[in-house]
A = this chain, B = another copy of it.
Amino acid sequence: MSPNSDIKYTPISSIGEFGLIDLFRDTAVKYSNSQVEHSIGDDAAIIKPSEGRRTVVTTDIQIQGIHFDLSYTSMKHLGHKCAAANLSDIAAMSALPIAAFISLGIHSNVSLEMIQDLFGAMTDEFGRFGCVIAGGDTSGSPVGLVVNITLIGEVEPEREVLRGGAKSGDVICVTGDLGRSHAGLKILQREKNRFVQTGQSAEFSADFSGYDDALMKHLLPEARVTLSRSITEKMKVHSMIDISDGLVSDLLHICKSSGVCATVEEGLIPIDPITRRIADESDEKALDYALIGGEDYEILFTISESDFPKLYSIDGNIRAIGRIEKGDPGVRVARTDGSAQEFDKYPSYQHFSKPRGV
């Protein structure tokens, strides 16, 4: 008998591809959505659309070694985060999620227990928002884990919000503090580097104390599905996007789609004290984390100034950070020292232009 008989290691090959699909079906049935008429187990899933609504579809691929590092990301964290990233895109359209489709490329060194953790965490995170995993595909993978999620939701046509509707005079708002996810990543990388520098010593102990809020934000981000619906219920939102690439890049997407420029006030950008502390410890600037860090999964949106007071009753964390203006697409950051930083190109990490610091 093993020391702890509750803990098992099962190779995926012991149940095969069809066994894995059965397992996913048995896990996914924990939640249901009345619009999903047929889910896992046929050539395709069947969804009944609501009358008068539009179908909203987003898809997102995450590849080990590019988007995540399993040396400091548990499969449960990864499952939660992959789900949250897609929910965040649906939230950015003011839509409600209905059904998710999961494709997994699985290397032979991944155990059944790891995949159960991953799939279980996704199931729960989607389920929290009334959304069910309705299909997917599995494959072997020669190297590393690949996760692709397609998420389908719905929105009333009058509540759709695209990137292209920002108007001169709009107030630019954000639903929470920025840069904290990147600060969390910094801590994970710092402790991983310390571990590597000790020669991966068995005595090594990572020091995460006091950094919980940053680590939580990076590993377990919260998609603003409910909040975005509350905002579009109360007012006409002109443009909206979620902050996945970083404030400057995502605001630049809005500017390019809308044919406007934007000015953001440094002093108005919400930055948490823990983000400042981590940036200080890393000899970096917390402002850079907020501007180009990415993965905050807050919602960035623009509204008429007259609508701004209506936000007070929705959520105390929503902040106005700047203005939309007439001009060539670009983002201007007005610094507290009176200087300005101008961006007319995407400054953040791009997969094909430079290696990420992960």
**In angstroms, how far is the closest chain B Cβ from the Cβ of A122?**
14
Q: Complex Cα distance A38/B93, Å?
A: 11
Partner-contacting stretch, out of A48-56, A183-191, A260-268? A48-56
User: Judging by beta carbons under 8 Å apart, are B143 and A142 in contact?
Assistant: yes
Q: Which residue of B lies closest to A241 (CB)?
A: B43
Partner-contacting stretch, out of A95-103, A206-214, A306-314? A95-103
Q: Which residue of B lies closest to A242 (CB)?
A: B43
Chain A interface bracket (under 10, 10 to 19, 20 to 34, 35 or more): 35 or more
User: Judging by beta carbons under 8 Å apart, are B58 and A43 in contact?
Assistant: yes
Query: A28-60, CB under 8 A of B: which get 1 and which 0?
Result: 000000000110011111111101011111111
User: Judging by beta carbons under 8 Å apart, are A59 and B101 in contact?
Assistant: yes
Q: Which residue of B lies closest to A108 (CB)?
A: B352
Residue from the list B13, B15, B43, B58 in contact with A89, Cβ < 8 A: B43
Residue from the list B44, B48, B53 in contact with A93, Cβ < 8 A: B44
**In angstroms, how far is the closest chain B Cβ from the Cβ of A265?**
25
User: Judging by beta carbons under 8 Å apart, are A43 and B103 in contact?
Assistant: no
Q: Complex Cα distance A50/B143, Å?
A: 42
User: Judging by beta carbons under 8 Å apart, are B57 and A44 in contact?
Assistant: yes
User: Judging by beta carbons under 8 Å apart, are B152 and A41 in contact?
Assistant: no
**In angstroms, how far is the closest chain B Cβ from the Cβ of A341?**
20
Q: Complex Cα distance A137/B146, Å?
A: 13
Residues of B within 8 A of A352 (CB): 12-13, 15-17, 20, 106, 108, 138, 140
User: Judging by beta carbons under 8 Å apart, are A66 and B241 in contact?
Assistant: no
Q: Complex Cα distance A136/B240, Å?
A: 19
A73, CB-defined interface residue at 8 Å: no
User: Judging by beta carbons under 8 Å apart, are A18 and B104 in contact?
Assistant: no
**In angstroms, how far is the closest chain B Cβ from the Cβ of A88?**
8
A123, CB-defined interface residue at 8 Å: no
User: Judging by beta carbons under 8 Å apart, are A44 and B101 in contact?
Assistant: no
User: Judging by beta carbons under 8 Å apart, are B45 and A56 in contact?
Assistant: yes
Residues of B within 8 A of A142 (CB): 63-66, 143-144
**In angstroms, how far is the closest chain B Cβ from the Cβ of A86?**
9
User: Judging by beta carbons under 8 Å apart, are B150 and A59 in contact?
Assistant: yes
Residues of B within 8 A of A226 (CB): none
A325, CB-defined interface residue at 8 Å: no
User: Judging by beta carbons under 8 Å apart, are A351 and B139 in contact?
Assistant: yes
Count chain B CB atoms within 10 A of each CB in A12, A15, A146 and give the residue with the most.
A146
A274, CB-defined interface residue at 8 Å: no
User: Judging by beta carbons under 8 Å apart, are B135 and A66 in contact?
Assistant: no
User: Judging by beta carbons under 8 Å apart, are B141 and A57 in contact?
Assistant: no
User: Judging by beta carbons under 8 Å apart, are A105 and B61 in contact?
Assistant: yes
User: Judging by beta carbons under 8 Å apart, are A92 and B353 in contact?
Assistant: no
A232, CB-defined interface residue at 8 Å: no
Known pairs A46-B55, A61-B137; list 13 more (Cβ under 8 Å). Answer: A18-B346, A42-B93, A43-B92, A43-B163, A47-B54, A57-B99, A57-B135, A58-B135, A61-B138, A66-B140, A67-B139, A142-B144, A148-B148
